[in-house]
Every structure is written in structure tokens, then in C-alpha cells.
Structure 1
Amino acid sequence: MLPKIMGILNVTPDSFSDGGRHATAAEAVEAGLRMAEAGAAIVDVGGESTRPGAAPVPLGEELRRVMPVVEGLVCRGVPVSIDTRKARVMAEALAAGATMVNDVSALTHDPDSLAVAAASSATIVLMHMQGTPETMQQAPDYADVVAEVRAFLDGRVAACVAAGIPEDRLVRDPGIGFGKTLEHNLALLRNLPALGSPLLLGASRKALIGRLTGADVHSRLPGSLALALHAARMGCAYVRVHDVAETVQALRVWAACNPG
């Protein structure tokens, strides 16, 4: 089965690839609609950049950025994920009709997040990150990155189940680029099935492509497609991407060449 495509819709001024692209909520909603029409199974709306070195965004500002977009997409029938570390943002987005929470802190940043997630019927994406966005790329260090990421994800799944979240609502994300060197990222990519399932891979346009090829952030579509195809081959349930139409096309051709 092909991975479902999660379209990335950042409503931030400072995200690493598409910060500032959508000047108004209406423009962001239109962008999300285009993603859905191109084949995105869900659109991931985020109002706080978590790129390396990014500073936290105040709660009120994050809500101001994301809620009109969440509401605008939901009312047009688009499945929405909320990309946030804050329980209040999760709660308001879920109340507005979002069906997934994508938390780079795996519900550890805000002490109320577990309760909000447990009270909902949403799918929850739990991502691994060493450190915080402000510090994570300063000196990433692991004795065994695959084993340590697996142990963290297992622990977060156990914590969620203990809080009342059914395991079949939990998705794992190894956090490519979040507190990892190129070598760490490659080790994880080569061993994705060892991290448990279901798995989401978010590697679109990331720095590892630039380090492997020299491509700048706006020239990384070929590398992003290669990573999406790798995710499909490794059995990932979701791929999180900026370029939805191109990824849909690549995956469909790949599937036709690899039936079964």
C-alpha cells in the first residue's frame, strides 16, 4: 500500500523552506485546497516554525495564525492535521474539526497535551527530537541512534496508551533533521522498519539533501521525491511533503512498476 501524503502548510514567517509564502489566511486556505485536489490525504497546518534555531511563538500568535486556516479547510471538507506543541492549540483545532495532531515533542512539551489527545478521537503523530528547536543541531550525539530513537518512540507510545489513547491512533516519526547529523539521518533512513509502525517520514527539502547533493533549499525536489519513494519501499504509512502533486505522480509511477 502506498503511503498517504500529508501536505505541509506552514503559516509562519520563518519556516526553513516556505516561511512567509502565505500572506493571508485566505491564501493559505487556497494553498491547502490545491494540496487536497492534488492528492494529499491530509493537510498539516503549522503556525510555529521548528527549524533549527527557531524561537518559540506565543500562544495567542500561534492561534491567530492557524485557526482561520484550520476552519477554512475543514469547512471545505479537507482533512486537517494541526502541527503544534501546545495543548490549547491542539484543543481548539480539534474542536474546529482537525482529525490529527502532529507534535514534534511527542506530547512532552505541554503537560496538558496528553489529556487533550486522550479526550479526542484524533490520530497522534509522535516525533523524536533530541533537544529543542533552539538547541537540537548544536551537538547531536547518540551511542546508537536507531536503538535510541526506537526506545524513545516505544516509551512515548506506552505513555500515550497509559493516558488512555488507543495504540491504533498513534503514528511514529523518527524526526529526520531534529537533533541529528547527516550520518544519524542516514542510519535512520536505512533502518526505518526497525523503528516500529505505523511510521511517518518527514524529510521533504531537508538539509540532508543539501549535504548529499549541494542543492539549496529551493532546489531539493528531486531529493525529496527520492526520499518519498524510499519511504514507500520501506513501508511507511505517511510521507509529509511540500510538493504534493509531484509526490503523487512519483508514487503512482513507482507503484505501477512495483505491483504488490
Structure 2
Amino acid sequence: MRMDINCDMGESFGAFRMGNDYEILDYVTSINVACGFHAGDPMIMRQTVKRAIEKGVKIGAHPGYPDLQGFGRRNMDFTPEEIYNMIIYQVGALRGFVDVEKTELHHVKPHGALYNQSANDSAKAQAVIDAVYDLNPKLKLYCLAGSLIAKLAREKGLTVFEEAFSDRNYNEDGTLVSRSNEQALITNEDEMFEHVKGILLSNEVRTIQKKVIKINAQTLCIHGDGAHALQFARRISELDGFLFD
């Protein structure tokens, strides 16, 4: 199968710098740009957009909860209306920079806790879907492979890229292992490579419960804030025969 390789980027903020964004752009086909709520700021957003254009990489918005201290990874209790409005606000901000640079926004991928909470909660999922659709029904939605939100988004008429993760472990129900669990992250390069090969070659992953489950994905994520992100991106590029055109 062919696979889009995406990476979360633009997550620096003010004087705080995170990740190896510019270097990783050589190894991915799409990026998810932080929109200021969980990370990022106007300077970083525009710089990231310009660099992605320079490298010919597709640009997506990465809206999250308003949680700078928790990097958007803490569960928060927002109503569907609040979720809808915060997505409109954040994607609209990034789209302004995209428009100024005379290019197009390719997709929207919720970040962190918003991504996980909306994956299988019908009310939160519908809020995300409606926001993306109302902004532009041609936008793609990146979401967890096998999730309820993927099903509902297709029913709405959105193009969905179901997502697998190169650097995260899975539970047997197809959800990601919580970051509070010491087994959540894959940090060993060889382990990551075998994990990714399973996704690409067999559409499957081995869960922390030692069960092999099927996973049907069209995009593979590398977390840009991960300690081994650039190293992992380079290694995954060795499988470039599987990259999405």
C-alpha cells in the first residue's frame, strides 16, 4: 500500500523551541500545524507554512484544547458547541497564513486530548466533523484508524485519512495506550521500524496485550515533539516505496 507520512509541527512558542521541524520536512508528505491553543504562535505558524511550501509538503491544521501548560494532552470537558467554535477559530487562523502564501489547506487533524476524546464520543466527534465540513467540505479529516469519528465523517461526506502512529503503542480495542502508561511510547528505533513495517506490509499492529489487530490506515504519524522524531523519520524514509504520491 501507499502511505502518507504526517508530522505534528509548529509547536514552538515564543522563545521556547521544540522539535526539528525544518529537517523533518525532508522526510514527510504532510504536516499538522499547531494553531496557538496547545502550542504555536503567529510567527511560528507563518514560518512553518512557508517552509512546508518550500519543501512541497501538504499543510494541515492541528487544533487542540486551550491548554498550553499541558500541551493539549489533558482531558477537558467542553460542550460540542465550544469544540465546534474552537476548531473554527484555530483553523481559520492558520488558513489566513495559508491564503497569504497563495496555497491551500489540505486537512484538519485534531490534537492530543481533543483527538482522543472525539475519536469514539459521538457528540464530540460530530462537533469536530461539522466544524471541518462547514469550513470547507473539501478538507480532509485525519483521525484515528477504526474510530467512530472516521465512520461519521464519511457519512457526512468528508474525505477521511485514517491514521496510524509510528511511535505509539496500541490497546487491543485499537485505541492508543494512555501517555500515563509507561508503555505508551515507542522509543527504540528498531522496535519502531518493525511496528511501522507491520502497518505498511500487513495492516496490523501488536498491542501491549500481545494481541495482533488489524489497522487500515492511509496516513502514518510521527510526533514532531518526540525525542527521536528526526531519527525515526529518516529510518521510515527507507521504506519510501510505500510513500503516498
Within a 5 Å distance, the mapping from 1:156-235 to structure 2 comes to 156-158=153-155, 160-161=156-157, 165=158, 169-173=159-163, 185-188=171-174, 210-211=182-183, 219-233=187-201, 234=203
Within a 5 Å distance, the mapping from 1:69-218 to structure 2 comes to 69-76=44-51, 77=53, 78-85=57-64, 86-87=86-87, 88-97=89-98, 98-103=105-110, 104=115, 105=118, 108=124, 111=127, 114-120=130-136, 121-127=138-144, 149=146, 153-158=150-155, 160-161=156-157, 165=158, 169-173=159-163, 185-188=171-174, 210-211=182-183
The answer on whether the counterparts of 2:142 and 2:160 sit within 8 Å (CA) in structure 1 is yes
For 2:107 and 2:15, the matched residues in 1 are separated by 20
* RMSD of aligned alpha carbons: 4.3
**Unaligned segments of structure 1, at least 5 residues:** 12-21, 48-60, 129-148, 190-201
Residue type matched to 1:69 in 2?
I
For 1:112 and 1:239, the matched residues in 2 are separated by 21
Work out which structure has the larger RCO, using CA pairs closer than 8 Å and 6 or more positions apart in sequence: 2
**Structure-1-length-normalised TM-score:** 0.52
Residue type matched to 2:220 in 1?
V
Sort the Cα spacing of 1:118 and 1:26 in 2 relative to 1 into closer, same or farther, 3 A: same
Aligned residue in 2 for 1:54: none
Aligned residue in 1 for 2:218: 237
Q: Deviations over 1:83-140 (max 9, x none)?
A: 2243210122123224220021269368486244343232211347xxxxxxxxxxxx
Aligned residue in 2 for 1:139: none
Please say if 1:68 is aligned against 2:39.
no
The answer on whether the counterparts of 1:228 and 1:247 sit within 8 Å (CA) in structure 2 is no
Sort the Cα spacing of 1:175 and 1:4 in 2 relative to 1 into closer, same or farther, 3 A: closer
Sort the Cα spacing of 1:175 and 1:73 in 2 relative to 1 into closer, same or farther, 3 A: closer
Residue type matched to 1:46 in 2?
A
Deviation at 1:5, TM superposition (A): 1.3
For 1:254 and 1:232, the matched residues in 2 are separated by 11
For 1:117 and 1:25, the matched residues in 2 are separated by 35
Sort the Cα spacing of 1:176 and 1:5 in 2 relative to 1 into closer, same or farther, 3 A: closer
**Structure-2-length-normalised TM-score:** 0.55
Decide which of 19, 31, 47 is 2:20's aligned counterpart: 31
For 2:239 and 2:231, the matched residues in 1 are separated by 13
- Count of matched residue pairs: 182
Percent of pairs with identical residues: 8
For 1:110 and 1:247, the matched residues in 2 are separated by 32
For 1:83 and 1:71, the matched residues in 2 are separated by 14
For 2:93 and 2:174, the matched residues in 1 are separated by 34
Q: Deviations over 1:178-215 (max 9, x none)?
A: 9xxx8x724539xxxxxxxxxxxx89x9677x53xxxx
SS at match of 1:171: strand
Deviation at 1:252, TM superposition (A): 2.5
Sort the Cα spacing of 1:66 and 1:4 in 2 relative to 1 into closer, same or farther, 3 A: farther
Residue type matched to 2:171 in 1?
N
Q: Deviations over 1:126-175 (max 9, x none)?
A: 347xxxxxxxxxxxxxxxxxxxx5555323321x32xxx4xxx2222479
The answer on whether the counterparts of 1:229 and 1:254 sit within 8 Å (CA) in structure 2 is no
Bigger share in helix: 1
Q: Deviations over 1:199-253 (max 9, x none)?
A: xxx89x9677x53xxxx95844333333222221216321101324534434535
